[in-house]
Amino acid sequence: MTNFFVLLLGEIKRLQRYNILSASAVVALLWIGVLYLTELPDITFIFPMLIYVDATSMAILMVGVTIFFEKQEGSLHTLLVTPISKLDYLLNKSIITVASSVITLTILYLYVVIFKEIDMSFLGLLGAVILVALFHSLVGFLLTYNSRDFTALLINMMKYMFIFMIPVLLEYMQIIQQDIVEAILYIAPTKAAMILLYAPAGETELWEIVYALGYLGIGSIILFIFVLKRFEQFAVSESGV
């Protein structure tokens, strides 16, 4: 077994032991509750929004919380003096995060297919979720690097939510309707995320899809390189999370 898989299995076991797995199960149940309470039989309109909230915020939270734990209990230090490359470590965290978002998507999609109506292909949603969760797991690293402690991490997450996540959500709920604001929101990675998640409904223009794919794809590559470079500095600093 290569060290990559040892790390992966260890990570899964810890998600379970540190109750992060049950926390994400609770969140998934919460989403099902929301879907259950929705009066509309066809939930094609609301479904991507739920997935949007889950794949962005849960991805950031999962990376942040697990690294915070590892740094606090010192196990991160130990990992650094074992034959694991930082690339293995970072890939592991991102893969686990993406997998968790994919599982949530699958559960919610099954629920909707069985009890409600939806007019979106699963594969399209799957692709979108993978890219969105990957990008946001890297955002999670970035926010963690720049947080002195857990409180600072939570505050940084809040900032990301208020600046990027919520405005886009309000736009899609048609609470924000000014053209100028909608135009400005193209700067936000969360807008690209929302475009991709709605694309499987089949009403998105091609240029928008290309833009969103480009933004999150190239963005992920740039973020990944940056996160990789800064990892050691973060890991050995005593003051960081």
Ligand X SMILES: Nc1ncnc2c1ncn2[C@@H]1O[C@H](COP(=O)(O)OP(=O)(O)OP(=O)(O)O)[C@@H](O)[C@H]1O
Residue 85 binding other proteins, by CB under 8 A: yes
Q: Which of 22, 40, 73, 205 binds other proteins (CB under 8 A)?
A: 73
Q: How many CA atoms, within 13 angstroms, populate the side-chain half-sphere of residue 148? A: 1
Q: Distance between CA 129 and CA 127 in Å, rounded?
A: 6
Q: Which two tokens stand for residue 18?
A: 């540190």
Residue 102 binding other proteins, by CB under 8 A: no
Sign (positive or negative) of CA dihedral 76, 133, 143, 158:
negative
Residue 80 binding other proteins, by CB under 8 A: yes
Output the smallest distance, CB 9 to other proteins, in A: 8
Lookup result for tokens 């709920």:
173
Binding mask 85-114 for ligand X (x = CB under 6 A): ------------------------------
Helices within the chain (DSSP H only): 3-17, 20-37, 47-53, 59-73, 75-80, 86-115, 122-145, 150-160, 166-172, 179-184, 189-198, 206-236
Binding mask 202-241 for ligand X (x = CB under 6 A): -----------------------------------xx---
Query: Where along the sequence are the contacts to ligand X (CB under 6 A)?
Result: 237-238
Query: Where along the sequence are the contacts to other proteins (CB under 8 A)?
Result: 1, 3, 6-7, 10, 13-14, 17-18, 70, 73-75, 77-78, 80-85, 232-233, 236-237
